[in-house]
Chains A and B, each alone.
Chain A
Amino acid sequence: MSPAAGSERVAAWSETELGVEGRVLDVVRAPAGVLSARGDDVDPTSADIVQLAADLVATMRVSPGCVGLAANQVGVGVRVFCVDVTEHPKTRTRHGTFVLCNAVVVASSRNERAREGCMSVPDLTGDVKRASRLTVRGRLPGTGEEVEFSTDAFEARALQHEIDHTDGLLFLDRVAGAHAIYPRQTYL
């Protein structure tokens, strides 16, 4: 499948293809060990992974501000994540809601630094430099199709953040320096 076809396929994908009802799962927080271990590659056509894909989307949907969720954030050490940056103001290219299995970065360029947070690290944010042009390859849950597509801006950042999760890395592992970590502000 060409990158252009991959992009169209991912944009057309929705969780209704999975044919199962997603369940809302608890999100685990650092220092849970599952967040620091690389997940196992999966068979994207297996029933367990299809259910997990639906669960990830369901959990993302009920979590305010959440634009992506990786399997190890719900305590499952496999390389699966969902993303949906549609509503985020920093988004340019968007592919709607999608889930990728065994995803890898194929190409990246144009690094930009921006502040990131994470549901699994709720008390801290940090400045992380990431590519703003990105090509990724992965497999869709259910059909198992391999897709490769390019994106940019905030969707590129979200994809790198989630792929890092599947590799056992938190944004903390990529912060730009000792003064690039910030306590999350809470105003009572």
Chain B
Amino acid sequence: MSTDLYAVTVLGHDRPGIIAATTAGLAELGLNIEDSTMTLLRGHFAMMLLCRGGSDAAAIERALAPLAVGGDLDVAVRPVASGPAPAAGGSAWVLTVHGGDRSGIVSAVVAEVAAAGGNITDLTTRLAGDLYLLVAELDLPVDADVAAVESAIRAAAERVGVTATLRPAEADEL
């Protein structure tokens, strides 16, 4: 039996029961949900699931088609390669950026992360009134000059009128 991995995305108008309907369709096909994430983006439902099983993409799309009948939800199914091995070493950081909303804040700041060879592993942005907020979790390479990266991020943030804070991601080992 094939154990291909599929990415299922569901986007659109929020209402009760979307997750229940989606997962019921996947369960009927015997698919196993691995990683998933769901949130509301300015009130819009946004979910991505990675599921594995013996169905093909067309069968998954057919199973989930009832979700999109109302025209207010968009469902997509894509095969994906099995996950790459995580990079070894490095260090984990939390980046917070906030300030007055304007275009270009995210791109200005994350460009500095990319330039340092950093990899963003989680990202949230929020617009609340005039306040724009970005919180990212990122990995920096073993040989990264963290002080230089932080300085570059702060300078980039300053150029677009916001402040940036880079802190180690702390994990309490028990």
Contacts and interface: CB of A to CB of B under 8 A. Distances in A.
Contact of A123 (B129, B136, B163): B129
B130 A31 contact: yes
Nearest to A184: B128
B128 A177 contact: no
Interface residues of B, number: 26
A9 interface: no
Nearest to A171: B96
B17 to A, nearest CB: 20
Interface in B116-174: 122-124, 126, 128-133, 135-137, 162-163, 165, 167, 169-170, 172
A179 to B, nearest CB: 7
A173 B96 CA distance: 6
A129 B170 contact: yes
Contacts of B123: 178
A183 B165 contact: no
A184 to B, nearest CB: 9
B137 A178 contact: yes
A30 interface: yes
Task: Give the dominant DSSP class at B's interface.
Answer: strand
Contacts of A169: 165
Interface in B27-83: none
B94 interface: yes
Nearest to B122: A178
Nearest to A176: B94
Interface in A102-160: 111, 121, 123-124, 129
B165 A181 contact: no
Interface in A170-188: 170, 172-181, 183
A164 to B, nearest CB: 11
A169 B163 CA distance: 10
19 contacts: A29-B129, A30-B98, A31-B98, A31-B99, A31-B100, A31-B101, A31-B131, A31-B132, A111-B172, A121-B131, A123-B128, A124-B126, A124-B131, A124-B133, A172-B96, A177-B94, A177-B135, A179-B124, A180-B135
Interface of B: 94, 96, 98-101, 122-124, 126, 128-133, 135-137, 162-163, 165, 167, 169-170, 172
